[in-house]
Structure 1
Amino acid sequence: MKWSKEQISSFTQVVTGGTPATDKREYWDKGTIPWLNSGDLNQGTVTKPSNFITEEGYKNSSTKLMPPDTVLVALTGSTTGLSAILKIEACANQSVTGILPSNKHYPEFLYYFFKTQRQKIFNATWGGAQPHINQKYVKDYIVPLPPIVDQIRIATILSKAEALIEQCKESIDLIDELLKNTFLKMFGDPITNKKDWQKVPLSSLGSLDRGVSKHRPRNAPELLGGIYPLVQTSEVTNAGLYIRSYTQTYSEVGLKQSKLWKKGTMLITIAANIARTGILTFDACFPDSIVGFISDKKESNNIYVHFLFSFFQDILEKNAPQSAQKNLNLALLRSLIVPKPPLKLQNQFAAIVEKTEVLKAQFQNSLTDLENLYASLSQLAFKGELDLSAVEIDETLLVEDKKQVSTVSMPLDIQKAIEISNKINKQFEGINRITKIPSALIKQLEQWNKLEDQFKHIPKLPEALLQARNNMERIQEAINKAGTTKLPADEETGFNWAVLANRIKERYKNRHFNFEMLHSFIQKDKLVEVIPYYASEELKTNPRLNDTEDLKSFIQTAIQNIEMDEKQQRQTNPFLRLTQSFYNAEKENFTLSLHKEDFKLIKDRTARQRSGIYFSLATEV
């Protein structure tokens, strides 16, 4: 399939940011305009700025306000070529350029394309101390431009593959968290040693000796290229529990000036990344920047010692002697005082870890397969070699008269008016009839009316503002029909039930959650302001929820097979269907599947505290 290839400047605008004077606090203090630096592009999907500037700072700098769906590209330093997609309205500094939305490209398609170009762009940088590219380089960049429908299909495929990769990474992180929490439950915090285990020097748990690499230079050709694995510091740092791979080998000559350590030896880094550990799964050599620990089988289990080091890393880093770079000496390691729980308990923990590592290895293999699949899909997609005919897409994305959104030339007041309109319009998404008007909405309407009065005598308004005006007229008409204009100032803010239901479905597909988790998610996502969480202990004794509290009512009316009175039956939730179960953490009566952020809320709690009512999406939802 042959697609046209065009320079970016031929179909859209490209803008670069600027920085208000940093010595003028009036440009920064109490700022409300999001302002990005190149490091913010590490978010991938940019939803939070690193800073804010004031309107005065905006007017007195060269920065430009960019709309959502702008594709961002970093121009300088180590971030050069890093790309992201903007999902808020924001401006940026001079190290970021923005490719504005147009009717010729789908933003996510361009974002995923630039992700494949990162290394190529970085290799094209110029400059000595600060390698960089410039705005012209981005403007002149040649990109493939298939039909919009194919751009959407490609972005859809890559987005789904990326989501699978993130889910797999989350599962691996959860396993690591589980093992760390199991360690704490069995042994307590080894730094505080509240379980009062016997304290001994590390050397009493096993022998410690430095690796050997006598020859200089260490990378002499005659030392390398043989059959004996050579493990480097970086391979220990990145290994996790077990060291399963290596990139270099020693020859017979190399082996003679080194030492071959047995499988099962725990390696400890003593330079660069200090006190990182990993256990050999093969016989290997290593340099003197690594210490080998061989546990005394009568005193310790090296898996226990490996997890022990994760708690002592900060202490060892702080106490490490520093010359050109920090490093540990053998004497410091040998004299390190550590808790020594009973060997039987150490071995029990090691057995749990080994079983869990099997599951983790499966996830690691799946992650590798998914990353390889993603790379292959990207390569085929942007070459036009991927069959896209069977890819289902959201047809609402296909808007034929999609106008180019250029906010660069719009006055800031117009931008603010459009932003307010969009926020209000989003609250009414999926709502056919208005029965309750939050006080916060009244304030937003007042802001809109005040700003809108300024534009009445402008002969030609931007398309985005005209659309905003139409939205506001529709909403105002609906409010008038409701016969309500204001609520008391202290009345509780209401929910946009349709939007909230959709976010719950996205977040909790194939997962469990309780009220605390939902409340935390809503707060972080800034969906609504809600009342505090009600503990699961209360829910156990009184699972019937209070109808006067919006969040509780919303969930209660979504639960299937719950006994409802006549009033509740009339208010059955039309947007969401849930099932509820009582989870007994002590008996583990079923397997909880939690979102990574939700797991963090309960990971340090007792089994009794983790028990309670949990919800999940009903199968027909």
Structure 2
Amino acid sequence: MSYPNKKLGDLFQISSGGTPSRKNIEYYENGTIPWVKTGDLHNKWLVAASENISEAGLSNSSAKLYSEGTVLLAMYGATIGACSILNIDAATNQACAAFTPTEEVEPEYLYYVFKANKQNFVRAGAGGAQPNISGKFLKSFEIPLPPLFIQKQIAAVLEKADKLRQQSQQMEQELNSLAQSVFLDMFGDPKSNPKRWQKKPLKNILEKLVGGKSLAAPEQHTDVSEYRVLKISAVTSGQYNPLESKALPADYIPPKEHFVQVNDLLISRANTTELVGATTMVFDTPENLLLPDKLWKFQWKESEPLSQIFMWKLLSSKAMRHRLSEISSGSGGSMKNISKSKLLELEVIFPDYEKQMEYENFYLRLRDQMLLNKEYISQAEGQFKSLMQRAFKGELDLKDVA
């Protein structure tokens, strides 16, 4: 069965909040009213805001206080389409559209409708310097509206599927945390070095750092090479992402050493303060990918046996990432750069090879579990999206739903 569509503007008085003047400290100091921004819209239920405002801030601005059960939707910027349900009374800024409770719509049902339509919101907001969807767009946006009792049944089904998806994602976080905690347990903090491992500058164990070129074919150009060059974003997450690459000119013939290969350890020599020095291990890669000039790969001396996985986790540790940021140059918000000479002088702990390999063997076993969990995540995501599509088309069998 299909459900009738209704415009959001016919169901809700859609509104948004505002921002008290930052010039008046009394509007924020000792504030007790949660003030929600789009960056707070991470989870289904919003139980706290990242910032509070005072009664004076609320009274002397366009910020509004919304009741528990209000559904919030991000209208601006990178978070466009993010949504949450207030589990508290809270005010919002102007980037959050608010849908206050109504007898016609179950808040949890509306939340999942918004989740299902996130890409539609993103597409609608594209095109400007600052992506945004307008109040006018939201008022005319249509949603399927079954009877209230069916809305509740649909929300219950989707919540179960959503929890399975979240459990898989939580497991991924726990496995990554385990890799970090075991590293610290075995080797201690790399900065304070409580286990008194010997230290060596990278130049003592490195044969050389290999970089590539950042040539690129013109956009929309059809005559391109079979080879592609990585973007910096291929390593910024700490996990190698070969999809982050761009086309090369058709006549470019790359040097052999510029090719990215399995077991390479890559580091970003240039990026923002937070991302410069990002390091990742290549476990699998297409054969046609090349290094750009802003990524280096490590080539180690054969006389100093080591574990690449140990070096990856060492350079990815919080202490070493901070140190890599410290040795980078660049002012203000500009791109930071790590010079080859400074990186070569960087001192690192260097435990016995056997100890390094003990950690590598542990990590490889753990990685098998990570890969299996990624399959679970993919399946759970697919099931959740399929259920949402079927639910709003009236294709779910809801007779057994309590």
TM-score by structure 1 length?
A: 0.57
Greater strand fraction, Structure 1 or Structure 2: 2
Q: Which amino acid is 2:347 matched to?
A: I
The answer for the alignment partner of 1:376 in structure 2 is 386
Partner of residue 355 from structure 1, selected from 357, 361, 365: 365
Q: Which amino acid is 1:376 matched to?
A: S
Matched, 1:275 2:281: no
CA shift for structure 1 position 245: 6.1
CA shift for structure 1 position 72: 0.9
CA shift for structure 1 position 24: 4.2
The answer for the alignment partner of 1:3 in structure 2 is 3
Matched, 1:289 2:294: yes
Q: Helix, strand or coil for the counterpart of 2:66? A: coil
CA shift for structure 1 position 169: 1.8
CA shift for structure 1 position 174: 1.6
Deviations 1:453-481 (A, max 9, x none): xxxxxxxxxxxxxxxxxxxxxxxxxxxxx
The answer for the alignment partner of 1:341 in structure 2 is 351
Is the Cα–Cα contact under 8 Å of residues 215 and 249 in structure 2 kept in the other structure?
no
Q: Helix, strand or coil for the counterpart of 1:124? A: helix
The answer for the alignment partner of 1:318 in structure 2 is 326
The answer for the alignment partner of 2:189 in structure 1 is 189
Go from structure 1 to structure 2 and tell me whether the alpha carbon gap of 1:195 and 1:163 turns closer, same or farther (over 3 Å shift).
Answer: same
Q: Which amino acid is 1:356 matched to?
A: L
Aligned length: 390
CA shift for structure 1 position 101: 1.1
Go from structure 1 to structure 2 and tell me whether the alpha carbon gap of 1:100 and 1:326 turns closer, same or farther (over 3 Å shift).
Answer: same
Is the Cα–Cα contact under 8 Å of residues 223 and 253 in structure 1 kept in the other structure?
no
Q: Which amino acid is 1:276 matched to?
A: A
Is the Cα–Cα contact under 8 Å of residues 20 and 27 in structure 2 kept in the other structure?
yes
Greater helix fraction, Structure 1 or Structure 2: 1
Task: Give the Cα separation in 1 of the matches to 2:72 and 2:30.
Answer: 25
Go from structure 1 to structure 2 and tell me whether the alpha carbon gap of 1:263 and 1:15 turns closer, same or farther (over 3 Å shift).
Answer: closer
TM-score by structure 2 length?
A: 0.86
Is the Cα–Cα contact under 8 Å of residues 14 and 135 in structure 1 kept in the other structure?
yes
Task: Give the Cα separation in 2 of the matches to 1:292 and 1:89.
Answer: 52
The answer for the alignment partner of 1:307 in structure 2 is 313
1:113-512 alignment, distance < 5 Å: 113-125=113-125, 128-213=128-213, 215=215, 224-226=224-226, 230-238=229-237, 240=239, 253-256=251-254, 259-272=258-271, 273-280=275-282, 281-282=284-285, 283=287, 284-296=289-301, 298-311=304-317, 312-322=320-330, 324-390=334-400, 392-393=401-402
Go from structure 1 to structure 2 and tell me whether the alpha carbon gap of 1:39 and 1:244 turns closer, same or farther (over 3 Å shift).
Answer: closer
Is the Cα–Cα contact under 8 Å of residues 224 and 248 in structure 1 kept in the other structure?
no
Q: Helix, strand or coil for the counterpart of 1:237? A: coil
- Deviates further, 168-177 or 317-326: 317-326
Task: Give the Cα separation in 2 of the matches to 1:230 and 1:22.
Answer: 44
- Deviates further, 155-164 or 246-255: 246-255
Q: Helix, strand or coil for the counterpart of 2:290? A: coil
Task: Give the Cα separation in 2 of the matches to 1:83 and 1:339.
Answer: 45
Task: Give the Cα separation in 1 of the matches to 2:214 and 2:46.
Answer: 50
CA shift for structure 1 position 148: 1.6
Is the Cα–Cα contact under 8 Å of residues 238 and 316 in structure 2 kept in the other structure?
no
Go from structure 1 to structure 2 and tell me whether the alpha carbon gap of 1:217 and 1:359 turns closer, same or farther (over 3 Å shift).
Answer: same
Go from structure 1 to structure 2 and tell me whether the alpha carbon gap of 1:248 and 1:94 turns closer, same or farther (over 3 Å shift).
Answer: closer
Go from structure 1 to structure 2 and tell me whether the alpha carbon gap of 1:222 and 1:309 turns closer, same or farther (over 3 Å shift).
Answer: farther
Go from structure 1 to structure 2 and tell me whether the alpha carbon gap of 1:126 and 1:299 turns closer, same or farther (over 3 Å shift).
Answer: closer
Is the Cα–Cα contact under 8 Å of residues 223 and 254 in structure 1 kept in the other structure?
no
Q: Helix, strand or coil for the counterpart of 1:208? A: strand
Structure 2: segments with no counterpart, 5+ residues? none
Is the Cα–Cα contact under 8 Å of residues 208 and 291 in structure 1 kept in the other structure?
no
Q: Which amino acid is 2:293 matched to?
A: D
Q: Helix, strand or coil for the counterpart of 2:65? A: coil
Q: Which amino acid is 2:383 matched to?
A: L
Q: Helix, strand or coil for the counterpart of 1:42? A: coil
Deviations 1:550-609 (A, max 9, x none): xxxxxxxxxxxxxxxxxxxxxxxxxxxxxxxxxxxxxxxxxxxxxxxxxxxxxxxxxxxx
CA shift for structure 1 position 124: 2.6
Task: Give the Cα separation in 2 of the matches to 1:128 and 1:232.
Answer: 24
Task: Give the Cα separation in 1 of the matches to 2:36 and 2:87.
Answer: 12
CA shift for structure 1 position 316: 0.9
The answer for the alignment partner of 2:87 in structure 1 is 87
Task: Give the Cα separation in 2 of the matches to 1:109 and 1:70.
Answer: 12
Q: Helix, strand or coil for the counterpart of 2:35? A: strand
Is the Cα–Cα contact under 8 Å of residues 3 and 392 in structure 2 kept in the other structure?
no
Greater Rg over alpha carbons, structure: 1
Q: Which amino acid is 2:279 matched to?
A: T
Task: Give the Cα separation in 2 of the matches to 1:8 and 1:245.
Answer: 38
Task: Give the Cα separation in 1 of the matches to 2:362 and 2:301.
Answer: 20
Task: Give the Cα separation in 1 of the matches to 2:141 and 2:277.
Answer: 45
Go from structure 1 to structure 2 and tell me whether the alpha carbon gap of 1:354 and 1:108 turns closer, same or farther (over 3 Å shift).
Answer: same
Matched, 1:30 2:40: no
The one of the two structures with greater contact order (alpha-carbon pairs below 8 A, sep at least 6) is 2
Q: Which amino acid is 2:291 matched to?
A: F
Deviations 1:98-139 (A, max 9, x none): 111111111111111112222322333389554433333323
Task: Give the Cα separation in 1 of the matches to 2:244 and 2:21.
Answer: 50
Go from structure 1 to structure 2 and tell me whether the alpha carbon gap of 1:217 and 1:250 turns closer, same or farther (over 3 Å shift).
Answer: closer
Is the Cα–Cα contact under 8 Å of residues 37 and 95 in structure 1 kept in the other structure?
yes
Q: Which amino acid is 1:266 matched to?
A: L
Is the Cα–Cα contact under 8 Å of residues 238 and 278 in structure 2 kept in the other structure?
no
Is the Cα–Cα contact under 8 Å of residues 202 and 344 in structure 2 kept in the other structure?
yes
Is the Cα–Cα contact under 8 Å of residues 16 and 98 in structure 2 kept in the other structure?
yes
Deviations 1:254-279 (A, max 9, x none): 44356324421211111223222222
Is the Cα–Cα contact under 8 Å of residues 295 and 302 in structure 1 kept in the other structure?
no
Task: Give the Cα separation in 2 of the matches to 1:223 and 1:306.
Answer: 37
Q: Which amino acid is 1:361 matched to?
A: L
Task: Give the Cα separation in 1 of the matches to 2:321 and 2:22.
Answer: 37
Alignment root-mean-square deviation, CA: 2.9
The answer for the alignment partner of 2:67 in structure 1 is 67
Q: Which amino acid is 2:254 matched to?
A: K
- Deviates further, 82-91 or 7-16: 7-16
The answer for the alignment partner of 1:433 in structure 2 is none
Task: Give the Cα separation in 2 of the matches to 1:76 and 1:25.
Answer: 26
